[in-house]
Amino acid sequence: MNQRLLRIVCLGLGILFLVIGSIGVILPILPTTPFLLLASFFFAKGSEKFHRWLIHTKLYQNHIHEFVTTKAMTLKTKLTILLPASAMMILAIFICPVIYGQIVIVFLIIFKYYYFFFRIRTISPQMEGDS
């Protein structure tokens, strides 16, 4: 894939994930942070200008700036991300007619909790502003 096409694809994905993350601010069932992290990643790969713009927006500052700079989250932030996503995955278990698919979803849920609680440092709310 040539460089120009790759940049266009990354920019398009960045815009898509930014829109989904923005919707997540309004709809509590849709987590905001993971989509904004993806948008930031794809903007960084696709356009320095868009990436600079994104990291200076209030949306970015309110939802992921702290995580990106400290690699840590408050327990409230972790639960805000995990619980709606888990609810959707549990719903998928009941909808999926294939037992192997259900098993994969259960392992994804377990991995997600393992990763958030053992790989991402938990900080107190007071430390959140002290970067």
d(C-alpha 109, C-alpha 81), whole Å: 12
Residues of the chain with pLDDT under 50: 131
- pTM of this prediction exceeds 0.85: no
d(C-alpha 62, C-alpha 35), whole Å: 14
Angle at 31 between CA 27 and CA 35, to 5 degrees: 115
Q: What percent of the chain has pLDDT over 90?
A: 50
Cβ atoms of residues 74 and 122 within 8 Å: yes
State the pLDDT at residue 128. 58
Secondary structure letter of residue 124 according to DSSP: -
